[in-house]
Amino acid sequence: MIKRVKKSINKKKEISINDLALMIANNAVTTDKKIDNLSVKLEKHIDTSIENLAIIVAKGFSSVDDRFDVVDKRFDRLETRMDTMDSRMGILETRVGHIEQTVMSLDSKLEEVNKSLVKIEESTGPLLTGYRIMQSEIRELVSRVTKLEQKAKISK
């Protein structure tokens, strides 16, 4: 605008106020049109950007939904596995209960066997004493027989 003013000043040495007002008005109209064009372009760009943002957000939500579906499936599988483990634990508890009963029964029988062994040991105590006494007497008798044989001069 300033360049135009300088050119017109050079062409005409005198510019009237009306000429300047006309030039400013023309430039204002041109500037208004340019601003309007820029405003329209900016609105289109903003509308496009908002639409793009909406599409991006929608895709993001869709992606999150897909991920949640995968997580839900994994939780379902985990829940199924936990249910299976619960039933297996029930079976194991039953088996352990049977094993405990068997061990208790064996322990009871072992106590009976121990009591029987104690009774046998108690009853064999006098037998062992008698056996020791008899062994001692047999040795003594063998020694006497050996001496008698020597005196009688009998050889084996």
Taking only the tens place, the pLDDT of each residue in 27-86 is 777 777 777 777 777 777 776 777 777 777 777 777 777 888 888 899 899 999 999 999
> How are the residues of the chain apportioned to helix, strand and coil, as percentages rounded to the nearest 5?
95, 0, 5
Taking only the tens place, the pLDDT of each residue in 127-149 is 888 888 999 999 999 999 989 88
Higher pLDDT, 156 or 122: 122
% residues pLDDT > 90 (the chain): 33
Structural contact between residues 1 and 20, judged by C-beta atoms closer than 8 angstroms: no
- From residue 67, how far is each of 14, 71, 72, 73 by CA, in Å? 77, 6, 9, 10
SS (H, E, C) 29-75: HHHHHHHHHHHHHHHHHHHHHHHHHHHHHHHHHHHHHHHHHHHHHHH
Higher pLDDT, 121 or 155: 121
Q: So what's the pLDDT on residue 86? A: 92
% residues pLDDT > 70 (the chain): 84
The pTM assigned to this predicted structure is 0.40
Place of tokens 């039933």: 87
Over its C-alpha atoms, the chain yields an Rg (Å, rounded) of 61
**Is 7's pLDDT higher than 80?**
no
Q: Phi and psi (nearest 5°) for 154?
A: -105, 135
Q: Please report which confidence band the pLDDT of residue 13 belongs to, taking 50, 70 and 90 as the band edges.
A: very low
